[in-house]
Chain A
Amino acid sequence: DAGVIQSPRHEVTEMGQEVTLRCKPISGHNSLFWYRQTMMRGLELLIYFNNNVPIDDSGMPEDRFSAKMPNASFSTLKIQPSEPRDSAVYFCASSFSDYYEQYFGPGTRLTVT
């Protein structure tokens, strides 16, 4: 079975550009999570969707960050405009329901110069 799929795996962009990260959760999972990993702060939850509806976006750092889940098999995390401090690894995870263990994708390594 395919796991969580993320694209791109690596993204290098210049400050001020728009960045869009993509995620396809595991089929049948109704919970989707976006995380950010940095050396300073570790793994942090950015936003949580349940049945395609954003439930908790309290971890989204600023208005420059937005996330959507138009259907059960696709989600995007957008940063506009990007800044060097957004450089991090962004993980998408999904689970059968919010109480079950989360399955992580391979991550997108974002570098903003």
Chain B
Amino acid sequence: DQQVKQNSPSLSVQEGRISILNCDYTNSMFDYFLWYKKYPAEGPTFLISISSIKDKNEDGRFTVFLNKSAKHLSLHIVPSQPGDSAVYFCAARGSGGSNYKLTFGKGTLLTVNP
């Protein structure tokens, strides 16, 4: 039973346009969400995060939106660049004693075409 779902295995966009990656979760105990980016033959690298007390967090070209009522978050990349081509993982974390535990989605492969 997947608690974090990324329903689009892949996404292709043109350079300069907006990329929107989506993520849904089922566990209402999750209170912190993260996006990781992964290039081939490398480990995932942390990109941006958001706490459940916020609905938006922005860092340069990257913005994460959280809709708690819908249990949905999205990552916006504007403008998209060819170097953004990678697999993006959504991850969620609960509070309390298990706040170390990240539950990951299966990832979305983003391809940004020049």
Seen from chain A, the residues whose Cβ lies within 8 Å of a Cβ on chain B are: 4, 31, 33, 42-45, 48, 50, 55-56, 91, 93, 98-99, 101-107
Q: Which residue of B lies closest to A59 (CB)?
A: B101
Question: Once the chains bind, are A101 and B101 in contact (CB under 8 Å)?
Answer: no
B-to-A contact residues, CB < 8 Å = 34, 36, 41-46, 49, 89, 98-102, 104-107
If A42-B106, A42-B107, A43-B89 touch, does A105 touch B43 (CB 8 Å cutoff)? yes
Please tell me if the beta carbons of A99 and B46 are within 8 angstroms of each other in the complex.
no
Task: List residues of chain A with CB within 8 A of the CB of B100.
Answer: 31, 33, 48, 50, 55-56, 98-99
A-B CB contacts (within 8 Å), total count: 45
Cβ B106 vs Cβ A103 within 8 A? no
User: Closest Cβ of chain B: how far from A2's Cβ, in Å?
Assistant: 13
**How far apart are B24's CB and chain A's nearest CB, in angstroms?**
15
CB-CB nearest in chain A for B32:
A99
Known contacts: A45-B101, A101-B49. The answer to whether A93 contacts B43 by CB under 8 A is: yes
B101 touches A104 (CB 8 A): no
Neighbour of B104 across the interface among A43, A55, A103, CB < 8 A: A43
B-chain residues with CB within 8 Å of residue A45 when the two chains form the complex: 101-102
Report the bound CA distance from A44 to B4 in whole Å: 12
* Cβ–Cβ contact B104 & A4, under 8 A: no
A48 neighbours in B (Cβ, 8 Å)? 100-101
Q: What is the bound-complex CA distance between A105 and B107, given in angstroms? A: 18
Asked if A106 meets B99 with Cβ closer than 8 Å, knowing A42-B105, A42-B107, A43-B89, the reply is: no
**A52 vs chain B, min Cβ distance (A):** 15
Cβ contact within 8 Å between A102 and B42? no
Known A-B contacts: A44-B104, A45-B101, A104-B36. Give 8 more (CB < 8 A): A43-B89, A48-B101, A55-B100, A56-B100, A91-B44, A98-B99, A106-B42, A107-B43
List B contacts of A43 (CB < 8 A): 44, 89, 104
Are the CB atoms of B101 and A56 closer together than 8 Å? yes
Residue of A nearest to B105 (CB): A42
Q: Is the CB of A103 within 8 A of B46?
A: yes
CA distance A36 to B104 in the complex (A): 11
Q: Which residues of A contact B43 (CB under 8 A)?
A: 4, 91, 93, 104-107
